[in-house]
Structure 1
Amino acid sequence: MAHGISRGQRWLLALVCAVAVSTIYAIQPVLAEAGTDLGLSPGAVGWLVAAGQFGYFAGLVLLVPLGDVLNRRRLIGAQLALTAVGTALVAAAPNGAVAVAGLVVSGVFAVVVQVTVGYAAAVSAPDERGRTIGAITSGVVVGILGVRVLAGVLGDAAGWRAVYAVLAVLCAGLAVTVGQRLHPDTRTATTRYTRVLASIGRLVSTDRLFLSRGLIAFFLFASFGTLWSGLALPLGADPWNLDTTRIGLFGLAGLAGALGAARAGRWADSGRAQAITGWSLALLTASWLLIAQTGTALWLLVAGIVLLDFAVQAVHVSSQHLLTTAHPARASSVIGAYMAFYSLGSALGAVTTAWAYHRWGWQASCAAGAAYSLSALVVWALTTRRRPAMRDGLGGRSAEIPGQQAGVVDRGRVDDATGICAL
């Protein structure tokens, strides 16, 4: 099925990811306004944030494996349409219960992001897979960070419901567009849905590459969540006292860093995915030294945000490149399982940053974020062996596999260094 993908299609898939993931995070900048409008108590407002995350986790487990069973192009369109239904329900919600239900629906079907990555990996030529994944997953970060800016500005100008009305229209429009612009999915599914689900359990327990990359993602996004879930706390307090719109503008610094890592896919294509992971995690840990200076100089915070988001995106792209190359026949389910670690890590970061801040202040939140990134670096160091004859740590040693492209797993061959068997 790998017959290449055009630049226009690559940008379309990146836009799909950006819009879909935005439906989960759009509530955060307008949370207070939405809670008041919906009649929720301050203690119950948190459910508006949790609803999307719970739905997303359920979708990762139950829906993403469908990408290895059903026609992916049609599945992407259907999931976008259902995401539009959920966001429209939020925009029109008369009370908190309906809004929570709409956010759950949006979260469940926002996993179209992972199906999209699986589709892109499948249709891309092998030597362009990393670049394609890098461009598309940049859309995810653009959505997560960019929606903070959009929601802050649009919420102030037209109200919080306008944010979800716009997202609903975008999802519906994209659902139509992908059916017209994407390559047909010509696969013939030979695997049952239940077998795909069972294979995920075996993947976690037997595949060392997957487990190590999953643990790295868990700590990586715990660090990421520590920053972005807690940043409004010190910025909204003394000495800065910034409003929602200006706090949202810090997302632009994150965008600059994430987009700066767009070349991570090309680096992974050239066989440097493991090295990229190591130095990016070291950079991520160092970025917290700058972020910790939030109380004294905002330019140091901006520099820290750029470095943090650059490092997170570089590691994220490298991990997905390694996993989709190792498991090309079931890219959707593998990416979905990998992203479950991301979801849990993000939740952990969100919980601990608020707790640490209210107990000990922003310095404690920064210490937690640095501890998470350092933990990811330790996992990488413990699970990475020296492989001088290998280009990216995926296949058997290049000297032992005549005719194999460097970085491509020989079908059915188990790699001594990673314990992976390509399907």
Structure 2
Amino acid sequence: MKQLSNSVLYLLSISAGLIVANLYYNQPLLNQIALTFNVTESAVSNVALSTQLGYTFGLLIIIPLGDKITNKKILRVDFIVMILSLIAAAISNSLILLIISSFFIGFTSAIPQLFVPMAAQLSDDKGRGRAIGIVMSGLLIGILGSRVISGFVGEEFGWRAMYYGAAAMMFALFLLLKIKLPKISPNYNGNYLDLMKSLWFYFKTESSLRLAALRGALAFAGLSAFWTTLVFLMEDSFGYGSSVTGAFGLLGIVGALAATVVGKINDRVSKNKIILFSILLLILSWGIFLVSANSLIGLVIGVILVDLGLQALHITNQNIIFSKFPEARNRVNTIYMVGFFIGGAIGTSFGAIAWQHFGWTGVSVLGILLSFIIGIVHLSYNKKII
């Protein structure tokens, strides 16, 4: 099997982070956007919700094509729509236009999920966990770092400047990928309809895939509820703006940097043990959030733990499904990530509702309940399918 070179591996990692950042630039900016359009906190949360829903549809429609069409062709069309969507968001003169633009930003920003199966495909069994971990490290650093960047840019230059900057960044990245990214020839010979039908076949017949998707969805629902409402907590309890909220992303990067370590551990330690440890970390982090509505130190500790818990759970889930289904890694990753981001979209919506009616206590209790449900589901079914 052709080995994955470190240069290509880190290119995939960096690219994944830069592209996926598009999904999260809006979160520290929600308060500014609400003021611009004179809407409620609940209404403006639809910007984040629309972005995540777009990403989910992008996963479902675009990523399976990685098993059929060369990556170069997919990237060419995707980047054109992505850049136009970012510009449209920057010039939006109403909330509804921004929500529509955000959907297409999310839709086109799904392509990093082509990079994770690519890394798994080009790695041997002993190095697969490490490769997944490195790509996921870049992806998660992009998620977390995006909030730091957008928080600063939003406070200094306004929220529209962030979208203009992202469009310019994506244009430069496209040129780099066009030159450096190796061409991957897919091995699926059926038509697109059969390709999509096979998604249902894998979902229906493989219980380990369904369980991994459910674990990931519940965990990401909690994290999305946290990041969607943190900007409101920081404003109400501490009087801080978007730059401080975004700076919390730096703390989450501590967990993201552990991706390589988690990946290596996945190659040696029981995946069941890693999953149980991840669930305990999630429960602990949400318990800390519950008592930290007025404590920056508590919030700092909670952010580090919740990101580390999600990171360990997510990489382990992907290692399980990629190892079991080597002939269809893009398709099983599609199923897993669609579930993952449906969970994120639900978490964003429920987090906003919990905040509006019960404040930070409601958000924290929601996170605790979601984490306990992960544990219950996993302990009930994992012996049968892992």
TM-score bracket, shorter-length normalisation: over 0.9
| Native 8 Å contact 2:69 2:185 kept in 1 | no
CA contact (8 A) 1:78 1:175 kept: no
- CA distance in 2 between counterparts of 1:100 and 1:296 reads 32
Gaps of 5+ in 1: 386-416
Aligned to 2:370: 372
SS in 1 for 2:27: coil
Deviation (angstroms), 1:103: 1.9
The reply to whether residue 92 of structure 1 matches residue 91 of structure 2 is yes
Once the two structures are superposed, residues 56-91 of structure 1 have per-residue CA deviations (whole angstroms, 9 ceiling, x without a partner) of 122122221111111124423542343222212222
User: Which residue in 2 is equivalent to 1:156?
Assistant: 155
Q: Which residue of 2 aligns with 1:344?
A: 342
User: Which residue does the alignment assign to 1:272?
Assistant: 270
The aligned residue for residue 315 of structure 2 is: 317
Aligned match of 1:248? 246
Asked if 1:31 corresponds to 2:9, the answer is: no
Is 2:367 aligned against 1:418? Answer: no
Question: For 1:73 and 1:265, how far apart are their aligned partners in 2?
Answer: 27
1:360 aligns with 2:358: yes
Corresponding residue number in structure 2 for 1:409: none
Give how far 1:211 is off.
0.8
Residues of 2 paired with 1:310 and 1:334: CA distance? 24
Matches within 5 A, 1:61-210: 61-210=60-209
C-alpha contact 1:80 1:174 (8 A) present in aligned 2:
no
**Aligned equivalents of 1:372 and 1:101: distance in 2?**
29
Counterpart in the other structure of 1:286 = 284
- Over the matched positions of the two proteins, sequence identity in percent amounts to 25
- Per-residue deviation, residues 252-279 of structure 1 (Å, max 9, x unmatched): 1111122224311111122532221111
Q: Structure 1 residues 111, 243: CA separation in 2 closer, same or farther (over 3 Å shift)?
A: same
Secondary structure of the structure 2 residue equivalent to 1:356: helix
Could you tell which deviates more after superposition, 368-377 or 78-87?
A: 78-87
Structure 2 SS opposite 1:332: helix
Aligned to 2:225: 226
The alpha carbon displacement at 1:54 in A equals 2.5
1:235–1:41 distance in 2 versus 1, CA, 3 Å: closer
Q: CA deviation at 1:296?
A: 4.2
What letter corresponds to residue 52 of structure 1 in structure 2? T
- Paired residues, number: 385
TM-score, normalisation: structure 2 = 0.93
Give the distance between the partners of 1:282 and 1:62, measured in 2 at CA. Answer: 34
Distance 1:231 1:96, change over 3 A: closer
Query: Quick one: distance in 1 between partners of 2:254 and 2:107?
Result: 29
Mean alpha-carbon deviation: is it higher for 27-36 or for 145-154? 27-36
Amino acid paired to 2:233: P
Structure 1 segment 393-404 matched on structure 2, within 5 A: none
Closer/same/farther in 2, CA of residues 259 and 161 from structure 1, 3 Å limit: same
Report the residue type matching 1:144 in the other structure: I
For the structure 1 residues 3 and 215, does the alpha-carbon distance in structure 2 shift closer, same or farther, using more than 3 Å as the test?
A: same
Change (3 A) 1:310 1:179: same
Change (3 A) 1:103 1:352: closer
The structure 1 segments of at least 4 consecutive aligned residues displaced by more than 6 Å after TM superposition are: none
Shift of 1:317: 0.6
Q: C-alpha distance in 2, partners of 1:98/1:365?
A: 28
Amino acid at match of 2:155: D
- Taking the aligned partners of 1:197 and 1:297, their CA distance within structure 2 comes to 48
Q: Residue by residue, what CA displacement relative to the aligned partner does 1:85-117 show, whole Å, maximum 9, x if unpaired?
A: 221222233444543333222111111021121
Higher mean C-alpha displacement, 356-365 vs 304-313: 356-365
Residues 130 and 15 of structure 1: CA distance in aligned 2, closer, same or farther (over 3 Å): same
Q: Counterpart in 1 of 2:329?
A: 331
Greater length-normalized contact order (CA 8 Å, ≥ 6 residues apart): 2
- 1:221-265 Cα deviation digits (max 9, x unpaired): 112122212222322223x22222112211111111222243111
Give 1:242's aligned amino acid: Y
Task: Return closer, same or farther for 1:72/1:122 CA change in 2, 3 Å cut-off.
Answer: farther
CA contact (8 A) 1:277 1:315 kept: yes
Does the 8 Å CA contact 2:66/2:186 hold for their aligned counterparts? no
**1:358 and 1:33 mapped to 2: Cα distance?**
18
- Unpaired runs of at least 5, structure 2: none
3-state SS in 2 of match to 1:294: coil
Distance 1:81 1:267 in 2: 39
Residues 121-130 or 95-104, more deviating = 95-104
Contact 1:254 1:309 (C-alpha < 8 Å) held by counterparts: yes
CA distance in 2, matches of 1:296, 1:110: 35
Moved more, 88-97 or 199-208: 88-97
Query: 2:129, 2:264 within 8 Å by CA — same for their partners in 1?
Result: yes
Partners of 2:290 and 2:125 lie apart in 1 by 41
Tell me which protein shows more helix as a share of its residues: 2
* Offset, 1:44: 4.8
